[in-house]
Chain A
Amino acid sequence: MSAPVLSVRNISRSFGGIRAVRDVSFDVQKGEILGLIGPNGSGKSTLFNCILGQLPPDAGRVEVNGKTVTGMRASSLNRLGVGRTFQQLSVFPQMTVLDNIILAGQEHHGTMASRLFGPSDAGLTEAADQMIAFFRLTHLRDTIAGSLSFGQQKLVDAAMAFMAGPSLVLLDEPAGGVNLTMLGSLKERLTAYNAEHGTTFVVIEHNMEFVMSLCTRIIVLAEGAIIAEGTPEDIRSNQTVIDAYLGGG
């Protein structure tokens, strides 16, 4: 078996005496869809931010495809093939959907110079159109992104994360605030993309239904540490997890 796509080693992080994440380690293999769940305050957002370089961990390291990326700037991490989505709306509201998607790919094509002197779409219109079609947004291609519905913006956000052909995508609460119809289509598109390209996903999510049906493996955090790990079925029946959720409320 090849090296894991993502390897988290002994990550710890405190905020003034409160240990938000304590010595967490796990690996994610190619093609997996890993769910990261836990009650409020369990430290999953902190962990997520440590992995993405938004927060420097106090200890431990993060490896992507065997390369240490701890504390790396987000743009460099992205160029190594790590895409992400955001919990809040994170499109570029005054640009069209097409421009949003092209932007997501352009920094991976050519050089600074070619991006100034070359074509204005960086040669990406076709690829962007395919991505837009994949997320079934073709009818909205030339619409200003800020005027889309919340769910549609989530789809654009996901499409942007995929545009550069990443090997790993971290999804931060993709289901939050999305209506049921849109949720179904989001899940279906994510699964389809995973099947088609073998891209690895790590998902933080509150919506249990969504996580259980999307993920192939789940890690449960409570009070900053891993308390359980396994398939959705294992987790569903795990007493420790149930207690943690009831206890943590």
Chain B
Amino acid sequence: MRRWIRPALIGLAIILAILAPVGQGNYITYVLTSWLIFSIAAMGLNLTLGYAGQISLAQASFMAIGGYTTALLTLAGWHWMLALPVALSFCFVVGLMLGYPALRVKGHFLAFVTLAFNTLVFLILRNEEWLTGGNYGLVGMPRPDFGLFSTMKQHHFYYFTLTITIVAAVIMWWIVRSPWGRAFKALRENPIRAESLGVDTRRLTLLAFAIGSTYGGLAGALVTPLVQFIEPASFGVAHSLRILLMVVVGGAGFFFGPFLGAGVVIILPEFLRFTEGYYLIIYAALVIVMLVFTPKGLIGLGALLRDRFWGKRVARGDLKQGAQLK
């Protein structure tokens, strides 16, 4: 691909993101804000799953941890910008802890452990009413106010979220292109070989969970002021599954996959209203069809079409090998 195409596309995408809510009502702006927030959560899971190859079904619980921490602190009068680092650090530490099982088990076992973790978080949020408000949740969290720029208006909050998303994306981009990113990919593709080359795979596995979880926490910290109401049911296993599907549908292991995947899950239903209740059926069926024909998601599909069009074939050596080893 020519060198200028990628920066040009990214620039265009940012301009589109800036222009998207212009002239739109509050509802569309709200949906776009949700899209950005879920993109952040999916970006984190993409690091854990797409780059480092560790499946997690607990991303929504980190949104919960980030969201509740921010909510409790902002309700106690902290500014959002001060509450954020606390929430993120907390998610980082809990994420590290969730990484420990991954040192012992892989694949479906890990999927179940993380799923169990998500449900446990849900139960704690619901039952520990003295802290979390239990079933009733927490309500009335203020939106951050930056003196001249208050985010009370829906459009303002969108631009606030967009700024955070871009910062988060730049940091993520830095991580995945750094030697760490290379080591994460090595962990995914061949952990034994990576270990034999001096890569501390234990530490990397933990980091993959911790960083991915921190992004989940960031998304949660943004949900709190967006909705101004949080309750345990918004962070159940179904939501973790939803984020996982965003990553997979967009293209796990591709930097822009989460944005595309979150777009498909959050924005596409708007255009498919006419399908009424059948939307989820169609969506689930398409996910299965996609996994059969192009396991690398929509971005993978794009690359496949481009290669076919331009005549360059990328051999799926890894998959062939995987099939042989099994």
Contacts and interface: CB of A to CB of B under 8 A. Distances in A.
B321 A122 contact: no
Nearest to B182: A103
Contacts of A94: 185, 189, 253, 318
A92 B185 contact: yes
Nearest to B189: A92
Interface in B253-288: 253
B183 A92 contact: no
Contact of A146 (B185, B203, B315): B315
A73 interface: yes
Contact of B179 (A73, A83, A86, A115): A115
B127 interface: no
B198 A75 contact: yes
B30 interface: no
A59 interface: no
A116 B180 contact: yes
Given A74-B196, A92-B186, A93-B321, A116 B316 contact: no
Give the bracket for the number of chain B residues in contact with chain A.
20 to 34
B178 interface: yes
A61 to B, nearest CB: 20
Nearest to A114: B179
B197 interface: yes
B198 A107 contact: yes
Contacts of A74: 192, 195-196
Contacts of B321: 89, 93, 146
B318 A75 contact: no
A95 B185 contact: yes
B318 A73 contact: no
A118 B179 contact: yes
Interface string A127-163: 0000000000000000011111000000000001001
Contacts, number: 108
A16 B14 CA distance: 63
A87 B296 CA distance: 28
Interface string A85-106: 0101111111100010011101
A106 B189 contact: no
B198 A84 contact: no
Nearest to A82: B196
A86 B191 CA distance: 13
A144 B316 CA distance: 10
A164 B203 CA distance: 20
A67 interface: no
A63 B211 CA distance: 37
Contacts of A79: 198
A83 B182 CA distance: 19
Nearest to A54: B192
A73 B197 contact: no
A93 B195 contact: no
A40 B75 CA distance: 70
A48 B181 CA distance: 31
Contacts of B175: 116
Contacts of A146: 315-318, 321
A184 to B, nearest CB: 24
Interface in B305-326: 314-318, 321, 325
A79 B197 CA distance: 8
Interface residues of A, number: 40
Nearest to A89: B321
A177 to B, nearest CB: 12
Contacts of B195: 73-75, 78
Contacts of B318: 93-94, 146
B182 A102 contact: yes
Nearest to A104: B197
B178 A115 contact: yes
A203 to B, nearest CB: 16
Interface string B80-120: 00000000000000000000000000000000000000000
A34 B155 CA distance: 71
A191 to B, nearest CB: 23
A107 B200 contact: yes
A240 interface: no
Contacts of B185: 92, 94-95, 99
A93 B318 CA distance: 5
B317 A145 contact: yes
Given A93-B318, A160-B197, A103 B183 contact: yes
B6 interface: no
B316 to A, nearest CB: 7
Given A74-B195, A118-B178, A120-B178, A103 B315 contact: no
B194 interface: yes
A218 B218 CA distance: 59
A95 B179 CA distance: 13
Given A75-B198, A147-B315, A90 B193 contact: yes
A79 B199 CA distance: 9
Nearest to A86: B193
A103 B321 CA distance: 21
B193 A92 contact: yes
Contacts of A95: 182, 185-186, 189
Given A115-B178, A144-B317, 4 more contacts: A73-B195, A84-B196, A86-B193, A120-B178
